Amino acid sequence: MDIIRVILSIILPPLGVFLQVGIGLHFWINIVLTLMGYIPGIVHAIWIIAKK
């Protein structure tokens, strides 16, 4: 399942975070990072998935 989350995080970073932690602080942080730049959103999403 983590492979699917990582692939979805590369395509749409907030979706990968949502599938991992739901709507919470990390989800909103990821949305802000993705809006600031696509790469920071991806890095944050993969970090959240790898951390769990």
pTM of the predicted model, to two decimals?
A: 0.89
Tokens in use for 45? 């999403």
27, 44, 50 from 24: Cα distances, Å: 5, 14, 17
Q: Rounded CA gap, 33 and 27, in Å?
A: 10
Q: Rounded CA gap, 39 and 42, in Å?
A: 5
- Tens place of pLDDT for every residue, the chain, 52 residues? 779 989 999 999 999 999 999 999 999 999 999 999 999 999 999 999 999 7
**Into how many domains does the chain fold?**
1
Domain interval for residue 20: 2-51
